Structure 1
């Protein structure tokens, strides 16, 4: 046997020792657990500093180690932290999956402390999804665990979040009571951060309950604590709350002082916001689709307006409409191509499936962005088509031109309906439709829908019969707007396909679980019916019975697809039963929450029927902020017809300057402009004038930006293209309110 040389023996010994030491490090449970704990702590630090990618990386590494050694407690904590991270980066559905895994493990091992935190995060996820009732259930479960473990700080924080959820549900008294519980605990144990934030929220609630004096006392106490302990963000919020409270009681000097403090502090922490925005980009796909404006059409329209050439205007509007239809066709073509490519990718096998899935998700986002951009851009030229065709019809056109203008108007209105339907389907498919529950009277709501559709029914010689179960309560909490849209679509369909017949609408209860009633809605007609073959595709987009039916009865084939999407969102099901030439029955089942609270009554005065001769329009000053030349022309024409004069400016910066230097009664503010947007301009205006009437003129769907409009301080919204009578009503309404406020002052 050959001898090993001494130096080689030493090297071999060192290598063996190193491997042995490494194996010891890897296998020693204490060392592994320390490694897991270190990565969990690091991930929490990264989360607090907005480094989401690094936090995710640490959590993934910690999870791999924890699963390797089978440490269930650590696995539960890691999944809970993953859920919190996914909530922050707005991946709520993924957060729910992670939290479900955490809760499942924590229940089995009785880790009540961490289980409570998981329930609390679960509640935060539901708040982000605006499902406040589900959030309250989660917060209740969290409170139970924190009480068992005597975790008073976590209990106080959960109570505060519960109070905020009640506030969102407009249950201000319950919100006040719960926040007071959080405040009591935080005072007892000196949890100063929770205490100052609770006082802020208490002030907001007291203001809603009409007790401004108590609200100011609470807000000032909260400010004192926040300043003393350097809670910068809470202090910043507090300044704004106090400014609003003093403004409400007319103390504008103090209101301005606190507003200036808020703006000054906002500047100092803006750097932190930039860091957040920068890191948040790690979770965003920035997809931008731009459609250039047709300058040639703009120039021709302006020239035609100058020449007062009605024939030229009609021709150009027709060309514009054809252009819009072409763009819409292109968008649908691209949409279908994306869908086909997505389906092909999803049929890939094995290893390619993951890549295909990622590409499919990206394709879906691309489709959503493309459709959203195209349809929003189409609204701008539609503003010209519908606006000018309406005006021309009212300006005594030649008899031979009337039919052309009516056809143009009909086409514009039809296309607008088509665009709105596409936008809604796009939102449904992208999971961007929010549920907005509120108390309402279901029977009254359906009666109002029948009343609104009765004229159309009478035109078709139809009788509508409404049967509401006598033993069924009338008051429920649900999203009444979505239920209305479902019923309007289904009843409207029955009216369209029934001539000289009957329609029956029935509502009754099929199940009850506590306060949750499952109701069945039936819409039956004795119209033309639907073949079995067509029933299989009834709820697909662009589905019609046949080309002949489409030509005879009209419609885009999107209504039932929207209905199906809305019912899915409401956690319901829809069915169809039909026979050719005998009629059709649509019935859907949705869960609704019973309530003893009656529907809120409108308390504001209605100015729509005001005598316009009572308004002195001679001194009314209106500023139109709009960069599009055609829109400027149309808006000016409408205002002139109302005997109102206006100034026109084409950018936000100049608008703010002119409003500072002049006394305007009404501002009509476009949203998308060069330089600062209409939203930013309005925020600047609100810093020095809180009462000026500012309308947003916007081509986006209102729901998409409603929260931004409210935060910016717009008085109301006028969507483009607008109907002239609705436009006039809103303007006269605003002027009447101003007059009424002046007379009561």
Structure 2
């Protein structure tokens, strides 16, 4: 029995000891929490006095405590406060790091109210750096979160910051709308500081719109509130705004008086130029808000729903890309097999040459048909991929979704380039590339190519040098588009493989006979170079320096193959000289005919705006003929964004009937559809309407189809997926009455 009592005693002693330790731990945590709040209060006091360095020290002490007691909510808020102070003392890089840490914590713990505040401050930093588009994006994210959490009183600060960004962009109508909303909310919640600032900003907008009377009234009202509440930075800004208004009103004496007041007050504000320091940040942070748990739960549900929808879209688009890549791989495999069989046939005995020739022609035709079919099958889903991605990017996705969508867009654009390269190689091999000689200024052409790629060179911290031989004339006759493509490929390659170096572009004469010049072009870089064993294969399709280089620098390995083919078509030769680690020089020689006639710049064409906004589109009607529902939606949305009205039918028969019964300005006709094809439908339409503009909106691009399109009655072809500017240019030509430059001839 005594033994039992002993164990009970030990147990009670341990329990009491543990309870005492836990009590001490709780008391320690409470003491640290009190200390944390003291540091925060001290930081606010120092910040209000403009003593930002002491404010930083107090915030750092508070941050250490929040980490010690594992208070993630406080930790996130403190990082935001630190970022604000760092920004005020011009430590912008550190401020961005602190904001990133705050965002990571707040997203992880679903602290949406303080996440919104962090977005707002991030937007202010963007605005101060004059990155207004980025600022407006994060301001919108902040506003959406405040609305989601029913924290309307905090929205006024965001809309005020949005207005300032729009004023900087001179978008006064948008600024006016944001300021009206700010004033309503500020009055509702007695936010005198924001109300005063919003009235002063409204005065700026009214002044810009030449409403002087209203501008003076708004500025005076904002100034009166600022004086009453002793908001010195607003008083100072009001003085400057009133000076601008009076100057606009040609009351120069009043303007001078307010400038003097502004200068005197600026001198009296210790160590701070208020107009340049974090405009719009109130420094207020949310610690409590009504129905916190319900609000957070609601936010989590909405977030999950949004994520789910986004994930579904991303998955669909990813599957589409994988499918496209699979089809592409299959097409390349079949293409290579056909080419190998054709090459083998060329080496058989003489008595079998006729049979071999027939088989080779059949193989070539089969390859062309196969590539035509595969091209269509690739481009159709790719149109959906790129179209949906652009739509999602235009519909203000969440900040963390933007990188995924941009990656998807990059993949789609890369794949489209890959397909176009394969098609061009196929055309070169089939001898279907024709020369288009015209008069042009060679020196200007080289300068334009260098200018177009100069940003890419800057990104790699590489300097471009241009050397044009003094004795070399400038104007020649030749295929300038193909020359441009060669130069762009070679210079683009040099930039890709040259980091923090130099690239030289040279042009000079080798020899001359009458007006025919043999010219040499060199693109030399001091980049990574190419190994000797790889140099012999550099002009083969799908060849790059190595697998590792391909993965690191990207590219399909088709560019140099295309370059060689184009140079041979121009009756020239290409050479390569390279040393690993020291650089590479690509040089090519081509003949060009000199012309004494000076190049005529098409000034009038350059001056033309060619913008849809210049046309009256109110009565324009367009018919979309497309059987694919996704493509219907994408094309219609693109047209709607251009303020164009359109009808949609999904087959050729309905298209014919629709054109008979309704007057349209333009028809966008798909080719492959159930029932009668787009070609047949167009032929029927041309029997009763010769004038209607009909574009083939299709994925088919091979030249052997072009003549067929022209004979059917199409005005031109718009290849899917198309570039927005190309699409608008052709529509503009059709709707403005300009002559359409057809791709068929």
1:428 aligned partner:
428
Q: Which shows bigger deviation, 337-346 or 498-507?
A: 337-346
Instruction: Report if aligned partners of 1:607, 1:737 keep a CA contact under 8 Å in 2.
Output: no
User: Any idea what SS the aligned residue of 1:556 has?
Assistant: coil
Do structure 1's residue 453 and structure 2's residue 453 form an aligned pair? yes
State whether structure 2 residue 630 is matched by structure 1 residue 619: no
Change (3 A) 1:644 1:365: closer
Q: Do the aligned partners of residues 321 and 674 (structure 1) sit closer, same or farther apart at CA in structure 2, a change above 3 Å counting?
A: same
Q: Secondary structure at the match of 1:619?
A: coil
**Inter-CA distance 337–407: structure 2 relative to 1 (3 Å threshold):** same
Cα drift, residue 699 of structure 1? 1.2
Q: Which residue of 1 aligns with 2:47?
A: none
Call closer, same or farther: CA 1:616–1:686 in 2, change over 3 Å.
Answer: same
Superposition deviation, residue 423 in structure 1:
0.5
- Gapped runs of 5+ residues in structure 2? 1-307, 739-745
Provide, for residues 610-650 of structure 1, a one-character-per-residue CA deviation record: whole Å limited to 9, x for no partner: 67665443332111122322211211122223332211123
Q: CA deviation at 1:708?
A: 5.0
Q: Relative to structure 1, is the Cα distance of residues 643 and 570 closer, same or farther in structure 2, using a 3 angstrom cutoff? A: same
Q: In structure 2, how many angstroms separate the alpha carbons of the residues matched to 1:474 and 1:699?
A: 39
Which residue is equivalent to 1:118?
A: none
Question: Is residue 520–residue 588 contact of structure 2 (8 Å, CA) maintained in 1?
Answer: yes
SS in structure 2 opposite 1:388? helix
* CA shift for structure 1 position 455: 1.2
User: What aligned pairs does 1:193-342 form with structure 2 within 5 A after superposition?
Assistant: 309-342=309-342
Is the Cα contact below 8 Å between 2:510 and 2:520 reproduced in 1? Answer: yes
* Secondary structure of 1:721's aligned partner: coil
Aligned-residue CA RMSD in angstroms? 3.0
Distance 2:598 2:709 in 1: 29
- CA pair 600-362 structure 1, distance change in 2 beyond 3 A: farther
For residue 400 of structure 1, report the CA deviation from its aligned partner.
Answer: 4.0
Question: Partners in 2 of 1:518 and 1:610 — Cα distance?
Answer: 38
Tell whether the 8 Å contact from 1:442 to 1:474 is kept in structure 2 after alignment.
Answer: yes
Structure 1 segment 458-473 matched on structure 2, within 5 A:
458-473=458-473
Q: TM-score, normalised by structure 1?
A: 0.53
Q: How much has 1:697 moved relative to structure 2?
A: 1.2
Deviation at 1:403?
A: 2.9
Distance in 2 separating the partners of 1:715 and 1:343: 39
Look up the SS of the partner of 1:493 in the other structure.
helix
Alpha carbons of structure 1 residues 353 and 618: separation in structure 2 relative to 1, 3 Å: closer
Q: Is the contact between residue 436 and residue 478 of structure 1 (CA under 8 Å) also seen in structure 2? A: yes
Q: Residues 442 and 703 from structure 1, CA distance in 2 versus in 1: closer, same or farther, beyond 3 angstroms?
A: farther
Q: Do the aligned partners of residues 359 and 620 (structure 1) sit closer, same or farther apart at CA in structure 2, a change above 3 Å counting?
A: closer
CA distance in 1: counterparts of 2:645 and 2:708, whole angstroms: 29
Cα deviations by residue, 1:95-118 (Å, 9 ceiling, x for unpaired): xxxxxxxxxxxxxxxxxxxxxxxx
Return the offset for 1:727: 3.0
Q: Are 1:607 and 1:736, in contact at CA under 8 Å, matched by a contact in 2?
A: no
TM superposition score normalised by structure 2: 0.53
What's the counterpart of residue 669 of structure 1? 669
Give the match for residue 375 of structure 1: 375
**1:700: how far off?**
2.2
User: What is aligned with 1:410?
Assistant: 410
Structure 2 counterpart of 1:396 = 396
Q: Does 1:578 align with 2:578?
A: yes
- Going from structure 1 to structure 2, the CA distance change for 1:601 and 1:716 (only over 3 Å counts) comes to farther
2:627, 2:651 within 8 Å by CA — same for their partners in 1? Answer: yes
In the superposition, relative to structure 1, how do residues 706 and 340 fare at CA in structure 2: closer, same or farther (>3 Å)? closer
Aligned to 1:531: 531
Deviates more, 1:329-338 or 1:387-396: 329-338
CA offsets, 1:57-98, max 9 Å, x none? Answer: xxxxxxxxxxxxxxxxxxxxxxxxxxxxxxxxxxxxxxxxxx
Q: CA distance change for structure 1 residues 614 and 363 in 2, over 3 Å: closer, same or farther?
A: closer
Q: 2:401 is paired with a residue of what secondary structure?
A: helix
Q: Shift of residue 475 of structure 1?
A: 1.9
Structure 2 residue 544 is the aligned partner of structure 1 residue 548? no
Tell me the SS of whatever aligns to 2:453. Answer: helix
Quick check: 2:610–2:729 contact (8 Å CA) kept in 1? no
Name the CA distance, whole Å, in 2 between partners of 1:439 and 1:610.
24
Conserved in 2, the CA contact under 8 Å of 1:607 and 1:733?
no
Q: How many residues align?
A: 432
Q: Deviations over 1:291-335 (max 9, x none)?
A: xxxxxxxxxxxxxxxxx9443332222111111111111111222
Alpha-carbon distance change, 621 to 459 in structure 1, aligned in 2, over 3 angstroms: same
Cα gap change, 1:439/1:579 in structure 2, threshold over 3 Å: closer, same or farther? same
Q: Which digits, 9 at most, give the CA deviation of each residue in 1:498-554, with x for residues without a partner?
A: 111111111122122333221111111111111111110111000110011001110
2:507 is paired with a residue whose SS is strand
* Cα separation, 2, equivalents of 1:508 and 1:657: 61
Kept after mapping to 1: 8 A contact 2:612/2:728: no
Change (3 A) 1:598 1:372: farther
Q: C-alpha distance in 1, partners of 2:612/2:633?
A: 24
Rg (Cα) greater in structure: 2
d(CA) in 1 for partners of 2:732, 2:388: 21
Q: Deviations over 1:334-365 (max 9, x none)?
A: 22333444455556567667755654554444
Whether the 8 Å CA contact 2:612–2:642 is kept in 1: the answer is: no
Cα 1:710–1:443 change in 2 (3 A) is farther
The 5 Å alignment of 1:620-639 reads 620-639=620-639
Partner of 1:522: 522
Residue 591 (structure 1) shift: 1.4
Q: Deviations over 1:694-737 (max 9, x none)?
A: 33312122755455555666454422102335434544564455
Structure 2 residue matching 1:557: 3-state secondary structure = coil
The Cα offsets for residues 162-192 of structure 1, whole Å up to 9 and x where unpaired, read as xxxxxxxxxxxxxxxxxxxxxxxxxxxxxxx
Residue in 2 aligned with 1:249? none
* 2-structure distance, mates of 1:702, 1:608: 31
- d(CA) in 1 for partners of 2:456, 2:494: 11
SS at match of 1:591: strand
Cα distance in 2 for residues equivalent to 1:354 and 1:618: 63
1:601–1:654 distance in 2 versus 1, CA, 3 Å: farther
Contact conserved, 2:477 with 2:592, CA < 8 A, in 1?
yes
In the alignment, the residues of structure 2 paired with residue 495 and residue 377 of structure 1 have an alpha-carbon distance, to the nearest angstrom, of: 34
Answer yes or no: is 1:439 the counterpart of 2:439: yes
Match of 1:594 in 2: 594
